[in-house]
Structure 1
Amino acid sequence: MSPLPGPGGLSGYAEHFREPDGYLDFGRFGPPSADVVETTAVLSGRAAHATAGTVDELMGYELRARRAAARLLGVTGAGGVDQVALLPNTSTGLFHAAFGLPHGTVLVPAHEFPSNLYPWRRAAALGRVRPVPLAPDGLRRITPDLVRAALTTETVAVALAAVDFRTGFRADLAGIREVIGPDRLLVVDAIQGLGATEQPWTAADLLVTGGQKWLRAGWSTGFLYASERALERLEPALTGWTGVEDAGLFDDREHPPADGALRFSLTNANPIAAGALARALELVEQAGITRITGHIRQRTAELIDTVRSVGGLVRSPTAEHERAGIVSFSVPRTGTATVAEALAAHGVTATVRQDEIRLCAHASTTLTTVDLVHKALHSLSR
């Protein structure tokens, strides 16, 4: 297999990115690195000039991406890669979870992102699991104590985001894992945290993520991690032809599900997307997730201070152990549209919601970007 383009001497993670100063919309989309862009172009070029070995060569990047994902999660044993399967998005993995649980109730935060709501509703409509809304506390947090209080004998799983998409609150995955006990599954949507925070990811029984946000791998990239407990209890209800044993043997028989997480495969992964994901994950590995998260924490703290300097109301957690890279805020007596216009006028790209603004900083976010936010918000008082 030919090597993918590499960064050469890694002198700084930020040097691999090209987004302009002012970009703070990583919770929605993380512009991919120059490495990922080049990888996509190289692999597309190979596909365009296909020879006898091209398809097999390209398909090999799926394993490379799975290995990189396993290392990022800390699943480094001999069978670690077998617990990872590639997915094109988070929703596909959540549908596997919803249709794989055949009975009982699932606790789901009431204000989750819709991708973690619709799969459970669809499964309930077909008589499988039933979602039970889990209301957050007064600070809009889902805590272990809150989960413990909501558990019943019918609860078979808890499904939640590792990082809340609105506030950036970082769930205590280890604490929730402990309170639900060994007889229930923990399903985690990691898309707003993986690549931006360090968490005990394998506390989850089923972890799903897309790669287009904080991992910066581009659209149609992502993966699933399944614990042994998840593999034992989830029915392979949505398993496709590539998720079975001897998938390449076309003998008109139904084959049993594959061992490990590959049983959650529906069809062949896009090998070009797999190559892009592999390169993005390897870049995170080379830079070091601790370095990346440290920079994100610093910029997030600076953005919080900037918002407060104009009297803004920060709705994200301010305690460092509870927050990720998201800062949601509003400015009292100033409409959201007015704040958004000021930010845009100063070259700041943010997520604009009906009643709040969301700023998301990454490791490539410059101090100049923070200064642009400062100027934009202070212009409101003039």
Structure 2
Amino acid sequence: MDRLADELGLEDGLIYLNHAAIAPWPKRAVAAVQAFAAGCGSAGSQGYPQWQATEQRLRMRLAELIGAALPEDIALAKSTSEALSFVAQGLDWQPGDNIVGIQQEFPSNRIVWEALGEQGVEYRRLDLSASSDPEADLLALCDARTRLGAVSWVQYAGGLRLDLARLGQGLRERRVLFCVDGIQGLGALPFSLADVPADFIAADGHKWLLGPEGLALFWVRPTLRDSLRLTQYGWHMVEDMGNFDRKDWQPADSARRFESGSPNMLGIHALEASLSLLLEVGMDAVADAIAERSAQLVALVDRHGLELVSPREAGRRAGIVTFRVPKVDNQVLYRALMQRGLMCASRGGGLRFSPHAWTPPEQLEQAMALTLATAETLKPG
């Protein structure tokens, strides 16, 4: 992982274990944005054809990342929430329909479905704390009126990783559409549409993909593209884009139909550069390195007698390891660690550490030592 480590220019003394929230950018992404900004300042839009070439490269890299057939199958959304909303507001719901999901989801993958209640659509949620086989239990929630299964690949708080292939196959057998929020998995784990029978995929680029906020992947199975009712319109989503004088129009045949207005060119330059690095290293190698670091954290949690919140089984984890330190307020402990330069998160009633493949293993030891030492100062005297 030397190539990845060389690309990160974090300030001295900072331990960064927060990729499940917002990731630092690689040097090449910083350089790409700096060059883009300099060009905008000195020549305005003179370089627009080159900007469009970078946009096309990004679509190609995202297609490669998930195993999509064509870059034209990739839409560039503003966020995971927007992409999921395209599905929620685009399907033709009928009163009495239902959606199957998970109770502990991040709001992006919960509110969009809950909002359909006013149309008479039920959102059925599995409580993961009461499930030892989440795929089977999710399928058991389905009935003849289930239209959609909507889940996160990896749960944001505890880090549970679902078996998407198994769940997707079960949903397909029941003729239920399958929507995957991939934000906590893409960039940390390999993914292939050849193995996962998904119908919709959404994922912002600012976590494990090492990109900026404000730019997300949205993929729809091409045979379903026309079935989503469009909810946003503008100059960029039409088939004959650029012919501004044309009065008649139709949505683009490609996934660009979901992109109503001007593209986020600054974000495109950053994410394209970050993805180039991950794909150069290879997602299998990235996943192996993350798995090693997750296993190291679990071992540290066990060694020091802490409470593991994340799954113990390696195949049920990705890059998130959440744990609780006994006899202290873990929210107070989180704030103290952030003040001491340990970037982490407060999730699941404990501390969430999320190292990437580039994270030096010795920093995990340092992070745990700092956590334990800080916790001692917070225990009641």
TM-score normalised to the size of structure 1?
A: 0.89
Question: 1:204: which partner in 2?
Answer: 198
Question: 1:276: which partner in 2?
Answer: 270
SS, match of residue 16 in structure 2: coil
CA drift of 1:137 comes to: 3.7
Query: Structure 1 CA distance, aligned partners of 2:336 and 2:27?
Result: 30
SS, match of residue 301 in structure 1: helix
Structure 1 vs Structure 2: percent identity of aligned residues? 26
Query: Structure 2 CA distance, aligned partners of 1:238 and 1:124?
Result: 21
Out of 226, 231, 235, the position equivalent to 1:237 is 231
Question: 1:5: which partner in 2?
Answer: none
Residues 85-139 of structure 1: per-residue CA shift (max 9 Å, x gap): 11221111011011111113222212210011222233443x2x72413223446
SS, match of residue 343 in structure 2: coil
Question: 1:15: which partner in 2?
Answer: 6
Within 5 Å, give how 1:132-281 maps onto structure 2.
132-138=123-129, 143-181=134-172, 183-201=175-193, 202-251=196-245, 253=247, 255-281=249-275
Within 5 Å, give how 1:1-382 maps onto structure 2.
12-20=3-11, 21-50=14-43, 53-75=46-68, 77=69, 80-103=70-93, 104-125=97-118, 127=119, 130-138=121-129, 143-181=134-172, 183-201=175-193, 202-251=196-245, 253=247, 255-340=249-334, 343-344=337-338, 347-353=341-347, 355-379=349-373, 380=375
Gap change, CA 1:284 and 1:278, over 3 Å in 2: same
Unaligned regions of 5+ residues in structure 1, if any? 1-9
Query: Structure 2 CA distance, aligned partners of 1:352 and 1:120?
Result: 25
Question: 1:6: which partner in 2?
Answer: none
Gap change, CA 1:140 and 1:261, over 3 Å in 2: farther
CA drift of 1:143 comes to: 2.4
Query: Structure 2 CA distance, aligned partners of 1:328 and 1:132?
Result: 27
CA drift of 1:365 comes to: 0.8
Q: Aligned partner of 2:29: which letter?
A: V
Gap change, CA 1:251 and 1:184, over 3 Å in 2: farther
Gap change, CA 1:175 and 1:313, over 3 Å in 2: same
Q: Aligned partner of 1:130: which letter?
A: V
CA drift of 1:149 comes to: 0.6
Query: Structure 2 CA distance, aligned partners of 1:84 and 1:64?
Result: 11
Structure 1 segments, 4+ long, off by >4 Å, are: 139-142
Query: Structure 2 CA distance, aligned partners of 1:239 and 1:199?
Result: 31
Query: Structure 2 CA distance, aligned partners of 1:255 and 1:306?
Result: 60
The 8 Å contact of residues 70 and 84 in structure 1, kept in 2 or not, is answered as yes
CA drift of 1:332 comes to: 2.4
Q: Which deviates more from structure 2 when the two are superposed, residues 187-196 or residues 144-153?
A: 144-153
SS, match of residue 49 in structure 1: helix
Query: Structure 1 CA distance, aligned partners of 2:45 and 2:318?
Result: 47
Query: Structure 2 CA distance, aligned partners of 1:207 and 1:321?
Result: 21
Q: Aligned partner of 1:196: which letter?
A: A
CA drift of 1:354 comes to: 7.3
Residues 52-104 of structure 1: per-residue CA shift (max 9 Å, x gap): 732333233221110110011122x4xx1121111221111011011111113
The 8 Å contact of residues 206 and 226 in structure 1, kept in 2 or not, is answered as yes
Query: Structure 2 CA distance, aligned partners of 1:251 and 1:378?
Result: 66
TM-score normalised to the size of structure 2?
A: 0.89
Query: Structure 2 CA distance, aligned partners of 1:361 and 1:113?
Result: 20
Q: Which deviates more from structure 2 when the two are superposed, residues 31-40 or residues 131-140?
A: 131-140
Query: Structure 1 CA distance, aligned partners of 2:186 and 2:132?
Result: 19
SS, match of residue 12 in structure 1: helix
SS, match of residue 181 in structure 1: helix
